[in-house]
Chain A
Amino acid sequence: MGQDPRTSAPWLRPPRHLVSPVAVWYWTARAAIGWVVLIVLEVIWMVGFPGSSGWHWALLAITAALAVGHLIVMPRWRYRVHRWEVTPVAVYTQAGWFHQERRIAPLSRLQTVDSERGPIEQLFGLVKVTANTASAAGPLRITGLDRATAQGLVEELTAIAQQTPGDAT
């Protein structure tokens, strides 16, 4: 979400808080699983259909190079992008890496707050917190929070969401 420093048009600053630095390893692990599956499939193909092995090795080398590049660049880039902030009136998140998205929702329109720990996330002690509004297009997801931060955040958001009456549509 960069901006040319020369221009002075109004734009949004990024949210204040970074996620846990451990998230870098979580993203690496998650992406690595996909790459490992792909490489295993290629090896099976190579062993199962021996033939012009030059092509096989070339394909394997390209895949490995792409995987290494992706696993080095993506998690670090993501870590710089993924941010969140809660103000007295709104939740503000930023996510993505190559494509980036910022989401803002007023606290008065929050409906549910979910915290989720998948198998890989549990390995790294991380939590994903999702703040849902009444819109199917608007869940605000914060991935890679450490447990203490996530718990505090969920409590804070739930308490605030409770304060506004009505069904928040």
Chain B
Amino acid sequence: MLILLPVQEILKNIPWLVVLVLAGNGSGKGPLWGLAGLVIALSTGTLRWFTTSYQIGAVQVQVRRGLLRRRTLTVPRERVRTVDLTAHVLHRMLGLASITIGTGRTDRKDDRGLKLDGLSVQDAAWLREELLHHSGAAPTGGVAAEDATLPAELARWKPQWIGYGPFTLSGAVTVLAVVGFGFQIVNEDHLNPSRLGPVDAALHQLGSASTPVLVVGLILAAAIVISLASTFGYILAFWNYRLTRQSGTLQVTRGLLTTRVISLDERRLRGVEFSEPLLLRWVKGGRCIAIATGLRVGRGAERGGSMLLPPAPRAVARSVSALILGTAAPVEGKLLEHGPVAHRRRFNRVLLVTVPVMVILLIGWRLGDVPGWPWLAVLVLLGLGMPLAEDRYRSLGHAVVQGRLVVRSGSLVRRRCMLSSEGIIGWNLHQSFFQRRAQVVNLTATTAAGRQAYRMQDLTLAEAVRVAEQARPGLLAPFIVTGPVPAPLEAPIPGPA
């Protein structure tokens, strides 16, 4: 339908049109500007309609679009996994629908998949049937299902775990938000808290204390408030947590006020991530999240759908990981170190960031009118960076154990990711200029699950090749050479015949 896209384009751009009209009002030509914007929006929408075409072939779906930037998207029909049919108000008024063809490229933000907008409802419904029924999108393989068995309990919450609450720092955000909100109220409403009796008295008492006492007191108060908030958050989220497994499905039940039940098909599971944030590491705690396709891992994953175990004793986290993986070797096994170059490069990073800044500030202090404390502050940062660099190196480790690639890294949050080899769908080998000189490489296993990429930093070239070949035999083999690398080819070579 030709009318849909231009109208949508106008609706989408209403804020801009308003801005145009308002901006133009200053010069007395507001409506004229608005009209110009309207025409542009209309023609963009119309052009999009004229330049988009699709073709459903026997083996592939092809969409062509764009005028200046011609794009052709080709999807083999075998890869079609989901077909979503959506109809907004505008669609429904016009008897139209849009179809989004999903290929299981997870829920990538930048990728809207193959979207066909403005189909008639009948066409859209027919297309959905056609694509889903002839693509063999049925689930493949499957874990040996024992439907008769009762759910097996893998882990259950213990009240002692609340002790790990303060170390999750999850309350920090909440406390900051509340404090910010409080300040805003005080500012906006011109409230003067010192006019309130008790506050006034407290301020007087504080005023009589010396500065160091005040600072220490404030830090202590903040620590206590954040700990309490974190503990409260922990109880709210993870009360009565239970992890069970039944006929190939993992199920997490948890929550105090709202009980959440999250099911995860084990066919989608590609591994387990065992992570220890620094504070939790100090008190020998850890947590687990799932590495599964279609479950994006990012900020807040430890509370979201991929959470398998809330902050709990490290031993529990290890045994739960082993139970889910079906083997303890990847969880307990020793990892290979990354070697002296990786060690040196961790320190180089700290030095490269801090030393130049410090030297400039030092010169400024001696020769110019820069105060003395900034360079000292950078010196303190440098001092803190050294143990961090050492810890970051000690965290680095990798191994291939029982068909799992195990990758460990990180200091502030140390993660041990155990990814099944079948889950690896490619390798990226990245070398900066300096890494090329030092003969090391960052090897990244790409996957459709979890973080999408699992990186091993600063491996020696031979070790990178060995790990990749051990995890996925044969993929790299045709490209491996021993001895001197053949000289780069200077003459252009024609493509495949």
A21-B492, A99-B431, A106-B475 given; A10·B425 CB < 8 A: no
* Contact between chains at B428 and A116 (CB < 8 Å): no
B446 A133 Cβ-Cβ under 8 A:
yes
A111 touches which of B75, B433, B475 (Cβ 8 Å): B75
Given A106-B475, A132-B105, are A2 and B428 neighbors across the interface (CB < 8 Å)?
no
* Given A104-B475, A134-B448, A135-B448: A165 touches B480 (CB 8 Å cut-off): no
Q: Mark A106-123, 1 if CB is under 8 A from B, else 0.
A: 100101111111110010
**Which residue of A is nearest B68, CB measured?**
A119
In the complex the two chains form, what is the Cα distance from A87 to B110 in whole Å? 29
Is A158 in contact with B433, judged by CB distance below 8 angstroms?
no
A98 at interface by CB-CB < 8 Å? yes
Nearest opposing residue in chain A for B109, CB measure: A136
Is A30 part of the contact surface with B, judged by Cβ < 8 Å? no
How big is the A interface, by class?
Answer: 35 or more
Q: Would B103 and A100 count as touching, CB distance under 8 A?
A: no
Among B140, B436, B448, contact of A100 (Cβ-Cβ < 8 Å):
B436
Closest to B480 in A: A10
Contact of A134 among B70, B104, B140 (CB under 8 A): B104
Q: How far is the CB of B179 from chain A (nearest CB, A)?
A: 36
Q: Could you tell me if B293 and A134 are in contact, using CB atoms closer than 8 angstroms? A: yes
The main secondary structure of chain A at its interface with chain B is mixed
Residue in A closest to B270 when the chains form the complex, CB atoms? A169
Given A161-B79, A165-B78, A167-B104, residue A100 in contact with residue B431 (CB < 8 A): yes
Pick the contact of B74: A87, A152, A154 (CB < 8 A).
Answer: A154
| A36 is an interface residue with CB less than 8 A from chain B | no
A162 in contact with B78 (CB, 8 Å): yes
- Of chain B, the residue at the smallest CB distance from A135 is B446
- Chain A nearest CB: distance from B298 CB in Å? 11
The answer for the CA separation of A154 and B486 in the assembled complex, in Å, is 28
- Contact residues of A between 1 and 32, Cβ < 8 Å to B: 1-5, 7-21
Whether B428 contacts A102 by the Cβ 8 Å rule is yes
Are B73 and A3 neighbours in the complex by a CB distance under 8 Å?
A: no
Residue of B nearest to A6 (CB): B484
Q: Is the CB of A169 within 8 A of B293?
A: yes
- Given A14-B488, A165-B140, are A7 and B439 also a contact pair (CB < 8 Å)? yes
CB-CB under 8 A from B426, the residues of chain A are 103-106, 109, 133, 135, 138, 140
Question: Which residues of A sit under 8 angstroms from B496, Cβ to Cβ?
Answer: 86, 149, 152-153, 156
